Structure 1
Amino acid sequence: VCVILHLHFNDFKTNLGQEGHEWPTVTCPFLVSQQTITPIDDTRHLLVSGYMDQRVKGLDVRIISIFNKNTTHPMHCLFCCAGSLSTSTPASILPHPEDFGFAYVTTDVMCHIPQDCNATHVTVLTEPFTQNPTKPSNHTWLPLRNRNKHLSDQEKLKFNFTVCISSLFGDYDNVLQFVQTLEMYRLLGVDRVVIYKTSCSRNFDRALQIYSQEGFLEVVPWPIDKYLNPSPGWLFSRSGGDVHYFGQMTTLNECIYRNMERSRYVLLNDMDEIIMPYQHNNLMSLMDALQTQHPETGVFLIENQIFSKTIFEPSRRFHLPQWEGVPGVNILEHIHKEKPNGKVSYLYKIIIQPRMVEQTSVHRVIKAFSSKVLVPLDVCGIIHVRDSFRGPDYKNFQMDKRLWDFQELLIPRVDEVLKKVGLLNETGRAEE
């Protein structure tokens, strides 16, 4: 879907001096993309979103994209300058270094804005463009975001914490764990959650709608399956397909730039993970302490802790009858986490200051304008309820009841949301 604005010409102007006859100035011929994925004409490449980004010397704009690494040719950027077309400028194509063997890779298209151009929109071309009113452009344009350079940091930042969840696809139906996770993040001080949605179950979609209506959740449509054959796995040799894990690398990077001028911190993690402080009651207190200790740091690595979803807490005190018919995992019942054994190298998820990061991968930041620090597990860790790598033997696990510290506030909040979704009736029982 595109918004189509009319093409019109300014009055023909003639300069009688040394410049001689001039072409009329052409206003921007808008076909403005309303999609999160926009193909580049005559290529196998996809544009996602354009951002002002002047942190790299000599470049002004970064376009988050997905390029086919097997087809390369020069590219050019064309700008709409507050209503008038610019001439095109050469684009720098910067593929991200991690593609996991897939043909399509997250790519930054970097552009320089021509002098005296107050750029509002950008498009990418395979040929240089010279303004000519007899041959108007019909390319699809992206709006340029993060243009509020005149605002102070305090004026820009609406949120302290935003959580980015990179991919939602398939018939995903883990409603109970999702609601528990979002309510836990609310208790921990998160202001906004962003999810990139390809597809999910009907129950799950109702939960998304409830949180979206409340303003806590931003759902970004992600129709990657309309353009590519996305892989449900992370490695091409195992899963096949065109692009890693439904384009997860692209959405994580897009989410950083989407929130660069509105959130002090961005948390990059998955649907079934909670970044949990252990010595503080909320994330703001945690980050205040960490930033005091590491004032020049903008990247904080949080170690994963796997809680087995097949081992249940013996007393079953949180096996609540009202949740029995709700699809999904009850994280309060799973408090057995894998003991470190020195053989398994656990991966990290990340808390960042978005303006200090240029490119990220899933478990590490690729390019940053600051140092990074590994946060000790007794300060902060990830509660990740999933299938364990260890098997059912209790000696491989240790108990961690940190979630129970929040149960008095968490349970009634979860019940209230599940009622709104239609999975609990007014008596607090699960709907049949």
Structure 2
Amino acid sequence: MMQRKLALLVGITMFTLLLVLRWEHVIRLVSLMRSEIPSAEPEPQTVQPSAEPTLPPWQRAPTETITPIPGSRHFMVSAFKDHRRGGVTRVISIICRQELQPLYCVLCANDDANANADYNAITDAKALSRCTTSPAEVDVHSDHFGFPFHTSDVFCTSGSLQQATHVRITTDQTAIHNLTFLLIQNQDVKVKSFRYNFTICISNLFGEYNNALQFAQTMEVYKLIGVQRVVIYNTSSGPDVEKVLRYYSREGMLEVVPWPIDKFLTPSTGWKYDLHHGDIHYYGQLTTLNECIYRYMYQSKYLLLNDFDEIIMPYKHASLEKLMDTLQQQHPNAGVFRIENHIFPKTQFEDTGRFRLPQWRRVPGVNILEHIYREPDRKNVFNPTKLLIDPRRVEQTSVHTTLKQFGSDVAVPFDVCRIIHVRVPLQGRLSKDQLLVDKKLWEFEKRLIPSVDLALNQSGLL
């Protein structure tokens, strides 16, 4: 009897083991099938951008804003027709001053009526209908601060090819094929109506700049005083500022121009060659400022040329428009207005903490509403200025003053308009009692705080 029970138990055990083995085999088989058959609900994957559609060369968007000139250490940036100089083509360029050599202009006309004039990626002269080659004239801007590479204008005369649409700078006047051509912008003159009244040209973001709170606050202040457009040349920015840039780009106020200067040259982080070294002054600041002037020459009535931590603020007028109406009435021949820079040390805080808002504590950056103390002017020390200009009256600019212009320039009294510049102090030894109280930004409190909250929320920072 015992033997029969034992035999039965062994049989059941073996049968169970056989079933387990067969079930594991089934599971492996199903897993193998699933690995080869797409799931109805696949795991999230990074979406790769679709391939660029097949377009004629002249209809493809440019991928770079800095183009090397073969056979040289020079670069071309963008090209514009300058009607103030008889229709000559001006190519904003970066020239190695110590290695100047003969340069040639290849001017071409694109007679294809279907070509999209917004793009400039012609890479072969065969795509163009007519071309002509002539010697170029190079004008290196005078303010190079000792750096070997500097902003320059390369002038090209079209001669018989008055309708040239594209240009290329070359060192070999016989080689015109397989080269990148720039679109010649500003073909038409517009002086009566403009898309924008006030546009800000911010020369550079670099060093993984991540001052997101001050950036958003500044953008919203500018909206309140009448700015419709901001242009930024971006070399590198931090992750939080990137989110803010995307928000304002979607909104339509901001144009971000890629500026990969560090891919071509060693940029200096300062303005003086003997102290800061490098190939080019301050990440090519002067090149971007000049480029912006021509980029928006017929798009904006006025341009403000300043940095991202500066606000050009009217003190006797409610808006920039009312300020400029008054200044142009007083100075009808002026096209350049120099605005004094005044430092608000970010190391000195307003005592009550009324603007130390809880929703902003986790947003990186400076809270400009907390800094109401202004450094006094220093005796016998030049107070730097930034510029508010009519771009059609400016030919070349430096940082604090223009180099070539049409008409006069005006130093605007600091009580009429001045720059609110929240940054590290220049007169760090001064105590709070020795500073001046300036609460101009508080006038915008009721409208500014909700608009900043909205921008930060839409950027994903709140």
Aligned partner of residue 70 in structure 1, secondary structure: helix
Does 2:166 align with 1:142?
A: no
Does 2:294 align with 1:249?
A: no
Letter aligned with residue 129 of structure 2: S
Offset of residue 280 of structure 1: 0.8
CA distance in 1: counterparts of 2:170 and 2:349, whole angstroms: 56
Aligned pair partner of 1:378 in 382, 400, 415: 415
Residue number in structure 2 paired with 1:128: 173
Does 2:228 align with 1:191?
A: yes
Count of equivalent residues: 394
Change in 2 beyond 3 A, CA 1:310/1:90: same
CA distance in 1: counterparts of 2:132 and 2:211, whole angstroms: 50
- Runs of 5+ unmatched residues, structure 2: 1-51, 111-127
Letter aligned with residue 147 of structure 1: Q
CA distance in 2: counterparts of 1:261 and 1:136, whole angstroms: 31
Offset of residue 281 of structure 1: 1.0
Residue number in structure 2 paired with 1:423: 461
User: Percentage identity across aligned positions?
Assistant: 50
Show CA shifts across 1:384-411 (max 9, x none).
0011111241243100001011111000
**If the length of structure 1 is used for normalisation, what is the TM-score?**
0.88
Aligned pair partner of 1:162 in 186, 196, 199: 199
Aligned partner of residue 187 in structure 1, secondary structure: helix
CA distance in 1: counterparts of 2:69 and 2:406, whole angstroms: 30
Does 2:76 align with 1:47?
A: yes
Change in 2 beyond 3 A, CA 1:217/1:309: same
Indicate the RMSD between aligned Cα atoms, in angstroms: 2.0
CA distance in 2: counterparts of 1:222 and 1:259, whole angstroms: 17
Contact kept? 1:67, 1:106, Cα under 8 Å: yes
Matches within 5 A, 1:1-40: 33-40=62-69
Letter aligned with residue 190 of structure 1: V
Residue number in structure 1 paired with 2:248: 211
Offset of residue 315 of structure 1: 1.4
Q: Whose helix proportion is higher, 1 or 2?
A: 2
Offset of residue 359 of structure 1: 0.2
Aligned pair partner of 1:64 in 92, 100, 122: 92
CA distance in 1: counterparts of 2:206 and 2:441, whole angstroms: 27
CA distance in 2: counterparts of 1:160 and 1:60, whole angstroms: 27
Offset of residue 231 of structure 1: 1.0
Change in 2 beyond 3 A, CA 1:320/1:75: same
Larger Rg: 2
Change in 2 beyond 3 A, CA 1:6/1:256: closer
Contact kept? 1:164, 1:269, Cα under 8 Å: yes
Offset of residue 246 of structure 1: 0.4
CA distance in 1: counterparts of 2:232 and 2:183, whole angstroms: 21
CA distance in 2: counterparts of 1:257 and 1:189, whole angstroms: 21
Show CA shifts across 1:358-404 (max 9, x none).
00000000000110000001100000001111124124310000101
Change in 2 beyond 3 A, CA 1:235/1:136: closer
Aligned pair partner of 2:360 in 306, 323, 346: 323
CA distance in 2: counterparts of 1:339 and 1:128, whole angstroms: 57
CA distance in 2: counterparts of 1:6 and 1:286, whole angstroms: 47
Aligned partner of residue 335 in structure 2, secondary structure: strand
Residue number in structure 1 paired with 2:132: 87
4+ residue segments displaced more than 6 Å: 2-7, 29-32
Does 2:133 align with 1:76?
A: no
Contact kept? 1:77, 1:122, Cα under 8 Å: yes
CA distance in 2: counterparts of 1:147 and 1:3, whole angstroms: 28
